[in-house]
Amino acid sequence: MTVTVGLDTAKTRKILNVGDQSVAYYSIPAAQAAGLGDFSKLPAALKVVLENLLRFEDGGFSVSVDDIKAFSDWAKMGGKNPREIAYRPARVLMQDFTGVPAVVDLAAMRDGIKALGGDAQQINPLNPVDLVIDHSVMIDEFGNPRAFQMNVDREYERNMERYQFLKWGQKAFQNFRVVPPGTGICHQVNLEYLAQTVWTDTDQNGEMVAYPDTLVGTDSHTTMVNGLAVLGWGVGGIEAEAAMLGQPVSMLIPEVVGFELTGAMTEGTTGTDLVLKVVEMLRQLGVVGKFVEFYGAGLDNLPLADRATIANMAPEYGATCGFFPIDNETLRYLRNTGRDEDRIALVEAYAKENGFWRGADYAPVYTETLSLDMGTVVPAISGPKRPQDHINLDVAGKAFGDYVKGVRGGVTATAKEEVRWEGEGGQPEPVNIPGDEGHHSRGYVKTADGSYQLHDGSIVIASITSCTNTSNPYVMIGAGLVARKARALGLNRKPWVKTSLAPGSQVVSEYLEAAGLQEDLDAIGFNLVGYGCTTCIGNSGPLDPAISKAINDYDLIATSVLSGNRNFEGRISPDVRANYLASPPLVVAYALVGDMNVNIATDVIGQDKDGNDVYLRDIWPTSAEINALVERTVTREAFIKKYADVFKGDEKWQAVETTDSETYDWPAASTYVQNPPYFRGMSKDAGTIQNVHDAKVLAVLGDMVTTDHISPAGSFKDTTPAGQYLIARQVPVREFNSYGSRRGNHEVMMRGTFANIRIKNEMLDGVEGGYTKGPDGAQTSIFDAAMAHQENGTPLVIFAGEQYGAGSSRDWAAKGTALLGVKAVIAESFERIHRSNLVGMGVVPFEFTGGETRKTLGLTGGETVTITGLDAVKPLQDMVAQIRMADGTVKEITVKCRIDTAVEIEYIENGGVLHYVLRNLAKAA
């Protein structure tokens, strides 16, 4: 992009005086007065982007006056004007699963810049970067007072190499801070502490400037902070690294969907129920690649904790972000969470002065709108495998039965009650249950907790987890009260349920203990297991071996219930097929029941100490009970206390030793951190985009193939290619850890690409797992097939259905694809982040057009694909793909090249965005 100077910045740069503070800022009303257009009807979310361009035009960056005027045209054109712009977020947020490979890439880039004749110090973040270690803790121990400490000890044992590397990065790179393990989840730490809503920094002239707090994060749920009016969204690690190094985020001015909220939540419903309904509605509408902004009178009745829950789930409804404008509730939350009073005063004054404030007259233009009366929201869960699979709680039991019928071909799970062993001499004998014809779905188990029967629908995991809900004191206090009432009646978790409590910050423990509720949660098995993502990202830990064996021996449809944001197939546990998202109070209630077949809203959930039936209504707290405890225990002082030494860490973190060097001394024997091959032998000059000639098909995949399917984060077995790699290096199975924890080693991650146990390659008949056909036509692992094709010099393509790459923003889904030798992915549609990641790794995404799909073409995987013209491609260009079918006939179809912007063409020409950045830095040296 070229620089066009013409804006009189003296007319837009103003001074704001707030108390004793005097700061400069870039005024949107002043830009309007200067004749650049009418910005008065822009949504607040889009005004944040506009201010960004105003500010960087002043610095002579790649921003033109026409870029700024385009926002006025957007409003005139009814919320549409997809002009390419360069956006620069204020900061970057990372978690350790995505952060480790990002720091690996930066370390490799230091080696690469030196090889090109540059200076290693050219590779340094220019913007503040915070990395929160939250993805590593696993639930090995649960349901007892020692669980937390034992899980922490095991975490350090497993991850010391990674932690030493991150500590090196903290020393080696400028503007890079690490929040140690055991502190909390990155998005909750961001919401409660790091975010400021209005950011301040000194400019090149040493003058203090105020501007909207913005960020990108290497996790899709970075969107959570939009609840605090901080514009942020998830990107892949490679895009985040480019942003750190000063490369703008190339994007099109987005459409903004207005979601009107009216009314108020009714008694007995939670913020989780609201967000599950919102996810369902927005998925039905279709908001991929769009901003969603929430507005309406209902916001006056919506606490910021509920707003953050809705914002957190933006990846689940497919939007870039779910934004809430600044209002009085924003200020209340900032104050209650310990933010400085001067900052709060600045937020209010800046928002009102620059048009970001949501007052009674807030009525912007939106691309389209939809509305929800919150009074119509009812208790609900979502599942069994997608967040948008909304189920009213009063039909949840029947819905599970219908799901089982679909899986079993008409047979339902009929064994609903606990069945004890009956037999002599320790030889168990099954108890016959009248009417139970589904013998194949029955598993008899004897464990230290007792003897019982498992069946389709047995809940084996109940986890209060994830920043989505543990950031919300209303639902957390609610969960504690359910536990208190259940305990008083003599109820307890079912013995086959693995229960856990993993808050997103230490503040949660502070107020649960202050309310006396942690003791009640402990009593029914919800002991603290760690401060981190745990079950939500697949770190649920192993089930009891006897339970795991019964599930697999009898092919049971075991279930989990979690207060998380993702429930994709194969994500939560390799032993659990059906996963349900629910509010923390419902997670506790389901642990008491232990069975998804029970219609928990209406059926008996247990018997009290006197043998009386207990229903959900008997243990459900009132809003008044919850609000009273929140008011008393969730205090400003608690937040200030717990975040006082947020970067210090405990004795274990302080004892982690690391080297003090400019470049990283890659340990040859490490199975966690290896120097990736991306920049080896790289020249100073880019080439042209390579055409695709006679590419073989590596996989034909269906709809809603997520990044979990492409690059799983959880555990893996010794029989997998990744397991075999570690076995060959004398790593015992107990020390395998997870794919997520080994993302700093490309050798493991290549072998884990397309290796999810539930992925289905349609080239094979009904086979689950990471398999395909090799060059000889025989079934083999995707990794082995890809390596064989590479040896033959054969390029590869992937075919897929709708919403390809939904879910987490994991860059390894693109990195692994590229390292396997895939040159193009042809899908019906892409999720935003994964499309961007593919481009960032030099893989060209294409979309079917004209109604063609993998199904209409009758693809079997025996085809070869040729796409020419890429050496002169334009953004979003329609191109011809020649597909030579297995019988030798050739079909020509039109596909849209999803290289969306001009700068993305340069990324592909360079082999990826990091290569592009590295070459530019080398030329500037």
CATH of the domain at 771: 3.20.19.10
Same domain? For 487 and 606 the reply is yes
Boundary of a domain, candidates 620, 638, 656 = 638
| 324, 399: one domain | no
CA distance 219 to 95: 7
Which element (helix H / strand E) includes 15?
strand 13-18
What is the CATH number for 144?
A: 3.30.499.10
Do 204 and 164 reside in the same domain of the chain?
A: yes
Based on the fold, state whether residues 467 and 570 are members of the same structural domain: yes
pLDDT the model gives residue 8: 56
Residue type at position 648: K
701 & 589 share domain: no
Do the domain assignments include residue 98?
A: yes
Same domain, residue pair 369 and 395: no
Tracing tokens 């404008």 back to the chain, one arrives at 325
362 and 405 in a common domain: no
Are 354 and 402 members of one domain? no
Query: Within a 10 A sphere around the Cβ of 684, how many other Cβ atoms?
Result: 11
Residue 188, in any domain of the structure: yes
SS3 512: helix
Parent domain of 455 = 380-423+438-638
In a domain, 645, yes or no: no
Which residue stretches of the chain have pLDDT < 70? 1-10, 58-62, 410-442, 925
pLDDT at 442: 64
SS3 state at 472: coil
- The count of residues in the chain is 925
Question: CA torsion 173→178→180→185, rounded to 10°?
Answer: -150
The pair of structure tokens assigned to 25 is 């800022």
C-alpha 559/C-alpha 593 separation (Å) is 12
CA atoms within 13 A on the CB side of 779: 11
Whether 10 is covered by a domain: the verdict is: no
Quick check: is 669 in a domain?
no
> Quick check: 239 and 248 in contact, CB under 8 A?
no
> How many Cβ atoms sit within 10 Å of the Cβ of residue 787?
17
User: Is-contact 507 472, C-beta < 8 A?
Assistant: no
Does 3 map to a domain?
Answer: no
Specify the pLDDT at position 1. Answer: 28
How far apart are the two ends of the chain, measured CA to CA in Å? 21
> Does 387 share its domain with 336?
no
Q: Give the per-residue pLDDT at 413.
A: 45
Report which residue type is found at 210. A
Give the span between the Cα atoms of 652 and 645, in whole angstroms. Answer: 15
**CA distances, 893 to each of 796, 857, 868 (Å):** 18, 9, 13
Q: What is the pLDDT of residues 585-597, one digit of tens each?
A: 999 999 999 999 9
Question: What's the DSSP call for residue 706?
Answer: B
What are the Cα distances from residue 612, in Å, to 416, 607, 618? 19, 5, 11
**Residue 47, token pair as written in the block:** 């005004």
Ramachandran area for residue 377 (φ above 0: left; ψ -120 to 50: alpha; else beta)? beta
Closest by alpha carbon to 828, among 710, 711, 708, 702? Answer: 702
Beta strands 442-447 and 450-455: pairing type? Answer: antiparallel
Determine which helix (DSSP H) or strand (DSSP E) holds 25, and give its type and residue range.
Answer: strand 21-26
Last residue of a domain, which of 638, 653, 675? 638
Which pLDDT score is estimated for 807? 78
pTM (predicted TM-score): 0.85
According to DSSP, residue 816 is labeled H
Residue 610: what are its φ and ψ, rounded to 5°?
A: -100, 5
Of 595, 620, 638, the position where a domain reaches its end is 638
In a domain, 224, yes or no: yes
- Distant-in-sequence contacts of 612-619, Cβ < 8 A, 24+ apart: 614/489, 614/491, 616/589, 618/485, 618/489, 619/482, 619/485, 619/486, 619/489, 619/491, 619/589, 619/592
* Residues 449 and 499 reside in one and the same domain: yes
CB 247 within 8 A of CB 309: no
DSSP string, 747-785: HHHHHHTT--TT-B-TTSSS-BSSEEE-TTS-EEEHHHH
- How many CB atoms within 10 Å of residue 485? 18
Number of domains in the chain: 3
* Whether residue 612 is found in the same domain as residue 699: no
Beta bridge partner(s), residue 179: 132
Alpha helices in 36-95 (DSSP H): 44-58, 65-76
| Residue 178 within any structural domain of the chain | yes
Residue 107's alpha-carbon distances to 104, 124, 666, 812, in angstroms, are: 5, 10, 9, 17
Cα–Cα distances in angstroms (integers) from residue 646 to residues 24, 431, 503, in the given order: 30, 54, 16
623-633 helix and 473-489 helix, angle to the nearest 10 degrees: 120
Tell me which amino acid residue 400 is: F
Same domain, 306 and 214: yes
